[in-house]
Every structure is written in structure tokens, then in C-alpha cells.
Structure 1
């Protein structure tokens, strides 16, 4: 049921937010920060998929 998956939905939105941060950091030339955000986005995506 969709209403039971709020945590997965929140993790998916967090992953999208972090992916936007990766793009922003890369545009600013902050490669180390972009790498950290990319790892966190991958973890949030994994959490969303596993929670679902």
C-alpha cells in the first residue's frame, strides 16, 4: 500500500535532492563534495529500494 511506504518515498526525494547537489557542486568545481553527495545519493536510493 502506498501510504505504508512514506519512508521509501522520503528516501527517494532525498536521493533526488542529493543528486541535484552533485550537479551544483560539479558546476562550482567542488569535485570532492560532489563525490560525497554522489555516495550519499546512492545510499539513499538503495535505502528507498530496500524499504519498498
Structure 2
């Protein structure tokens, strides 16, 4: 696992936690969806950068 993939996975999990927290607080749906999309993209990029796929 490279450093960049670890950072991307960490950021994705951080954003996912923020989206869940914002959803529980009842913030606007657009903010939660935006955080969810950002989380999914960061996690996907981190997983795809793992060296097991090469």
C-alpha cells in the first residue's frame, strides 16, 4: 500500500463519517449527498491505487 492510497482511503472514510454525522443532525440533503459523493470517489481512488490490482 502506497502512501497516497492510504491517504485517499483515510479521507474517504473521514468524509463518510461527516456525511453520516450531518445526516443525523438533519442538515440539508444536498450537503450530505455532496459529502457522500466525495467520500465514494476518494475511497474508490484509494482502492484502485492499491498494488494488488497490478
**Equivalent residue in structure 2 for 1:9, among 6, 10, 16:** 6
Task: Output the TM-score relative to the length of structure 2.
Answer: 0.82
List gaps (5 residues or longer) in structure 1.
Answer: none
Structure 1 runs of 4+ with >3 Å offset = none
CA offset digits 1:1-52 (Å, max 9, x no partner): x4xx000000010011001101111012122111000000000011101111
Give the structure with the higher percent helix. Answer: 1
Task: Output the TM-score relative to the length of structure 1.
Answer: 0.85
Q: Could you say what the CA RMSD is over the residues aligned between the two structures, in angstroms?
A: 0.9
Matched, 1:29 2:29: no
